[in-house]
Amino acid sequence: MNVYSPSSLLDEEPLPPGTVVEAFDPQGALCGRFVVAQAGKYGLMPLYGDDPSSPLDEGALPGDTITFWVNGNRAASTPARVHWTTYGDVQRVDLYASSPAGASQNWFAAAMSQIGRSLRSLFTP
């Protein structure tokens, strides 16, 4: 199945570009991953199902409850419970997440700034 949202929030603000949205099945298998390009919006994000011919857990089974994470933090969703259906289905799932206490609201910009400082130190005599 595929999920999307035209209106999802991180710290009560639209998801900033660079935000990572992930979806997991009940056993913890990563079913989908999307990096936000447009503020507040994600998707269409495919959520992959399990391959029944493989002993590995590669994704969800019909009826599995999917959990969503934003930048590594559990997110609430509307609808509150999302169940994996089948390939090709499309569902709107709006997400609401918070950064950990004390974390920068713009973690991506902070990380890029640190990388820039590290690179400058390599080239400064």
Average pLDDT of span 61-83: 97
pLDDT category, 101, cuts 50, 70, 90?
Answer: confident
Q: Is the pLDDT of residue 78 over 60?
A: yes
Q: Where are the beta strands (DSSP E) in the chain?
A: 2-5, 9-10, 13-14, 20-24, 30-35, 42-46, 65-70, 73-78, 82-83, 90-92, 94-97
**CA 99 remoteness from chain centre:** 13
Count of all residues that appear for the chain in the document: 125
For 106, the 3-state DSSP assignment is coil
Q: What is the pLDDT of residue 26?
A: 96
pLDDT category, 100, cuts 50, 70, 90?
Answer: confident
Mean of all residue pLDDT scores within the chain: 88
Average pLDDT of span 34-44: 97
Q: What is the pLDDT of residue 97?
A: 97
Tokens describing residue 89: 């289905």
Q: What is the pLDDT of residue 123?
A: 63
